[in-house]
Amino acid sequence: MSRKVRHVLGISGGKDSAALAMYMKTHHPEIDIEYYFSDTGKELNETYELIEELESVLGKTIIHLESNLSHKNPFDHYLDIYNGFLPSSMARWCTQKLKLEPFERWIGDDLAISYVGIRDDEDREGYVSTKPNIQSIFPFRKHIWSIEVLNKILHNTNRERVMDLYRKYGSPELMNRYSEIIGEPLTSKYLFSQKLKDLLHLSISKFNYVVFEFLKSENYPISYLKEYSLLNNEDSVDINKVYQLFKENGVKVPGYYDEIEFEINGIKGVYNRSRSGCYFCFFQRKIEWIWLYERHPDLFAKAQEYEKEGYSWMDNETLAEIIQPDRIAQIKLDYIATLQKKLNGKNKSNRLVDILADENEICANCFI
Ligand code: SF4
């Protein structure tokens, strides 16, 4: 049965989703992508500037999804509903209400492939929709598939089916090797990650064709496509290539990533904001709160207004406490020390924003 499949890409205001949009336009112009932005009404100005620049590079409108059009501000509307209970990493109602729900409403029951800008040098999945009619694809990674799809392909019970597909799509001269790899069950000695690596090492595109055909008999949006140009994609995009995409397209990296110098007790450091999203996002580090206080005092004051009736953005201190001079000095010194430790380790990029990238499961719609 043939059904239309939509291709959608969310712009968060972060550098990776913006780079992915530019990448798809250049490398896959044959895919008609709808770009969208879930607006919380509390984003930084740089996010809106980036969206404007991207619209001109992409030659398309980026659709603004708002969570509640009848209210003047989406975040404040839901905050009232939650009786002033501020969101936190343990209670992320904002992600659900302001990012995921508007997106899922916009898609409705349509089949959609959602392109996510998680890079090849990152080891995470991101927090994405789990609705069965929305499938996530990751064009920056060596393979483009979600962990859920990979689990199916590499599951021990599917070895025979996968081998049959390799007989059809694999290179004849490698058939013995495919058979060895696929025939060996996953155990504590032969791990999922190793098996995947072994198959990708033989050929990424052949692996993609096998997965594509495998999914034809499963109920995924991609099963409804006759062909899919990303199957031949053997590119991988890391952090350096992301910056290169900005440069090649003449788009300015959002200003909040700019490193700003500060000095404390005679020691020099630099700080910035590590990601997009709401100016008061509770995921930001203490040094980012200090950055907000010193670089955008108006926004910091607005964030402070939300701290009332015992609610605060951080677990262990309030914004009023964090900006006491001694506390600011301590946070800056701790940050310089942490950074130094990380710089001594191995990092693919020497930019602070990448060195301090978040290791949590973050929301693809807010930060990527
Ligand atoms: S950026 Fe932070 S505060 Fe804003 S919606 Fe996302 S998680 Fe919530």
What is the CATH classification number for the domain harbouring 95? 3.40.50.620
Domain shared by 202 and 333, yes or no = no
* Cβ(13) – ligand 1 distance below 6 Å: no
- State the distance from the centre of ligand 1 to the C-alpha of 281, rounded, in angstroms: 5
pLDDT at residue 340, as a whole number: 85
Predicted local distance difference test score (pLDDT) of residue 142? 86
Q: What is the pLDDT of residues 13-50, one digit of tens each?
A: 899 999 999 999 999 999 999 999 998 889 999 999 99
Per the structure, the count of domains in the chain is: 3
pLDDT tens for 56-65 read 999 999 999 9
Which of residues 263 and 143 earns the better pLDDT score?
263
User: Over the chain, what is the mean pLDDT?
Assistant: 90
Stretch 147-164: mean pLDDT, rounded? 96
Q: Are 159 and 179 in contact (CB under 8 A)?
A: no
Residue 305 shares a structural domain with residue 355:
yes
In a domain, 218, yes or no: no
Question: Is residue 219 assigned to a domain?
Answer: no
Choice among 161-165, 176-180, 347-351 with the minimum mean pLDDT: 347-351
Domain limits at 348? Answer: 257-367
As a whole-number percent, the residues of the chain with pLDDT over 70 amount to 90
Is 49 a domain residue?
A: yes
Q: Are residues 16 and 142 in the same domain?
A: yes
- pLDDT band of 5, cuts 50, 70, 90: very high
Residue 309: its pLDDT value, please? 85
Residue 55 Cα to ligand 1 midpoint, Å, equals: 23
pLDDT confidence of residue 190:
96
- Neighbouring C-beta atoms of residue 326, cutoff 10 Å: 7
Within 10 angstroms of residue 318's Cβ, the number of other Cβ atoms is 14
Residues in CB range of 206: below 8 A, 6 or more apart: 166, 169, 170, 171
Centroid of ligand 1 to alpha carbon of 208 (angstroms)? 34
pLDDT at 274 over 90: no
Locate the ligand 1 atom nearest the alpha carbon of residue 276 and give its number. 1
Asked if residue 220 is part of any domain, the answer here is no
> Taking phi first (over 0 means left), then psi (-120 to 50 degrees means alpha), and beta for anything else, what does residue 285 get?
beta
Residues of the chain with pLDDT > 90, as a percent, come to: 74
Residue 319: pLDDT band (50, 70, 90) is: very high
Same domain, 179 and 34: no
User: In the prediction, which pLDDT does 1 show?
Assistant: 60
Q: Whose CA is nearest to atom 8 of ligand 1?
A: 94
Is pLDDT above 90 for 339? no
Q: Which residues contact 45 (CB under 8 A, 6 or more apart)?
A: none
Q: Indicate whether residue 12 lines ligand 1 (CB < 6 A).
A: no
Instruction: Please indicate, yes or no, whether residues 87 and 171 belong to a single structural domain of this protein.
Output: no
Mean pLDDT across the stretch 138-143?
92
**Cβ–ligand 1 contact at 281 (below 6 Å):** yes
Does residue 9 fall inside a structural domain?
A: yes
The atom number, within ligand 1, closest to the CA of 95 reads 5
| Cα of 48 from ligand 1 centre, angstroms | 16
Least confident of 47-51, 126-130, 248-252: 126-130
Q: Are 245 and 253 in contact (CB under 8 A)?
A: no
Domain co-membership, 234 together with 87: yes
Asked if residue 209 and residue 80 are part of one domain, the reply reads no
- Residue minimizing CA distance to atom 2 of ligand 1: 281
Co-location of 344 and 233 in the same domain: no
CB of 303 sitting under 6 A from ligand 1 = no
26 with 96, same domain? Answer: yes
Q: Look at residue 358 in the predicted model and tell me its pLDDT.
A: 52
Statement to judge: residues 9 and 139 lie in one domain = yes
Within-domain flag for 116: yes
Residue 342: which pLDDT band, with cuts at 50, 70 and 90? confident
pLDDT tens by residue, 67-125 = 665 666 889 989 999 999 999 988 889 999 998 899 999 999 999 999 999 998 887 77
Q: Is the CB of 368 under 6 A from ligand 1?
A: no
Is 36 within the bounds of a domain? yes
Q: Give residue 37's pLDDT.
A: 94
Structure tokens at 26: 């250049």
Domain co-membership, 195 together with 229: no
The verdict on residue 165 lying in a domain is yes
Enter the tokens of residue 347: 């990092």
Going by C-beta distance under 8 Å and a sequence separation of 6 or more, which residues neighbour residue 215? 149, 222, 223
Q: Are residues 33 and 93 in the same domain?
A: yes
